[in-house]
Structure 1
Amino acid sequence: MADMLGLALRYDTARLVATLLCATRLAAAISLTPVLAGVAMPTRLRAMLVLALAFCMAGWQGPLPAQPHDVFGLAGMMLAEVLFGAALAFGVFTAFGAFSLAGHLLDFQIGFNLGALFDPVTRRQSPVLARLFDLFAVVAFFLADLHHMLLRGFAATLEVVPLGTFRPMQLSPTVLVEQLGSMFVYGLKLAAPVMVCLLLVELGMAVLSRNIPQLNVFVISMPLKVLIGLSMLAFSLRYLGPVVAKSLNAMFPFWERVLAA
């Protein structure tokens, strides 16, 4: 009877460690990404959500991790899981960062950065189109059912890289640099139609100012750039579907390269 009780206690302790390590990896992967940026959710509720998902993924199924010998061993395993979760979060962050980059480029090109709005939530100046692109990315992410694919992909990482076995030396800097470069590529693709159109407007204003020096180009060009820029943005949104899909799905090939390293 005592042997069975001791075995049950060791089993429960192992499952508790597995849940804790899985929650650490999942918390790092979610808290460092803008997946829930468009959802106003209290911190306690987010913590409960992470613990519930970790309990479902690692609390009742999957191999048990190697048990640490002391508190310092557990802390080292948790630190490794934080680093691995941050690496996974980097892929999600760059996928959403392409939209933020496109918004900032258009804000600068149109001139909205001159009158940036004050955001009482973040207590900082937030450009109009950058914030709009961020919310658009979150909505597209959930509409495309990518949140389910994200959870399935995270569950797959538990099989490829079991809990407590990750080593920071496994990360390849080349993979991180390539993923960062893809963020700039997709960001420029998202903003390219409006940027080209505004470049033509700038050239036209330059020709007018050259031929009519008395013309106040700055006063005239500002409302003209806003009107043409927003009109072109509304027109080009219907054709940006493939770029939006590639940008949001770019996180999953990155995860595969990280797991294969």
Structure 2
Amino acid sequence: MNVLPDLSILPVFMLVFTRCSAFLVASPLFAIPGIPPVVKSGFAFILAVIIYPLAARPGLTAADSLWGYGLMVLSEAAVGLAMGIVCTMVFNALRMAGQMIDLQIGYAMSQMMDPVSGSMNTLLGRFLYFLSLAALLCMDGHHGLIWGLAKSYQVLPLNSAEMSGDVAVFVIRVFADTITMALKVAIPVISVLLMTDIALGVMGRTAPQMNIFMLGFPFKIMLGLVSLAVLLPLMGSILAAVFDRMQKDLILLVKGLS
């Protein structure tokens, strides 16, 4: 009796594993450098094992040549990275909103190196980013990401991705929506700080002997943090709508590549 495993499925399984790995590398949760690569690879392997029965359609075979198979691997890696980047853009919008608030509140002068993104980020930018990650886990958004990854194999089967102008337009629209989303989150606090600047300017004109520059720093910080605290209870509904939009954008991207 032959008890050896069927190794003919290995090339197709590696294609599934490639898309899962690329998606996790660029996804918002597993893009954190602090997570060991072994953990990322192990989780990608488990996802590939679970998703393989959905992804392996009848008659699918790997390329006959090494170069052809290499192109298939690159194609699946590109699809996974594109999906992960679209999901990460949502969290970058919240980080951008925090940076806009920091610029007005005065925290932008204390920029520090963020080990998560490997770039310079401000205090409230990091706060809103980690808040969105915590909300993603609390709202089972990570399950939605896994569902989107599994759904992508049905909408966009292995070795069927095609780049078109519609995909480029879609990515530009997602980027524009990211900036719009950041403005919508930051506008309430920025409006309060703008009115504060106007009030301080009027005070500076009416009472020139007052040091408005030194007085404005702690006053704007206090008002900015109070405004953000008032806005936080509404962040749950905002983030729920944002995560729902993220899943829809993920499927729209996959449909555009099919």
The answer to whether the 8 A contact 2:13-2:48 is kept is yes
Distance 1:28 1:202, change over 3 A: same
Task: Give the partner amino acid of 1:166.
Answer: A
Supply the distance in 2 between the matched residues of 1:53 and 1:200 (Cα, whole angstroms).
51
How many angstroms does 1:119 deviate by?
4.7
Partner of 2:164, secondary structure, is helix
Equivalence for 2:29: 35
Equivalent pairs: percent with the same residue?
25
Is 1:68 the equivalent of 2:63? Answer: yes
Q: 1:216 aligns with which of 211, 219, 236?
A: 211
How many angstroms does 1:111 deviate by?
0.8
Distance 1:90 1:117, change over 3 A: closer
CA deviation profile, 1:162-185 (whole Å, cap 9, x unmatched): 112212237522211111111112
Task: Give the partner amino acid of 1:74.
Answer: Y
Q: What root-mean-square deviation, in Å, do the aligned CA atoms of Structure 1 and Structure 2 show?
A: 2.5
The answer to whether the 8 A contact 2:135-2:236 is kept is no
The answer to whether the 8 A contact 2:79-2:161 is kept is yes
Distance 1:164 1:135, change over 3 A: same
Aligned pairs for 1:129-168 (under 5 A) are 129-168=124-163
Supply the distance in 2 between the matched residues of 1:60 and 1:258 (Cα, whole angstroms).
19
How many angstroms does 1:255 deviate by?
2.2
The answer to whether the 8 A contact 1:38-1:138 is kept is no
TM-score (norm 2): 0.89
CA deviation profile, 1:203-237 (whole Å, cap 9, x unmatched): 11111112222322221111111111111111111
CA deviation profile, 1:36-72 (whole Å, cap 9, x unmatched): 3569421121111112211221168632633111211
Q: 2:95 aligns with which of 100, 108, 117?
A: 100
Distance 1:255 1:122, change over 3 A: closer
Deviating more after overlay: 163-172 vs 177-186? 163-172
CA deviation profile, 1:117-157 (whole Å, cap 9, x unmatched): 45567775431111111100100111110111111111111
Q: How many residues align?
A: 255
Distance 1:38 1:229, change over 3 A: farther
Aligned pairs for 1:1-261 (under 5 A) are 11-13=6-8, 15-36=9-30, 40-58=34-52, 62-63=56-57, 65-119=60-114, 125-169=120-164, 172-261=167-256
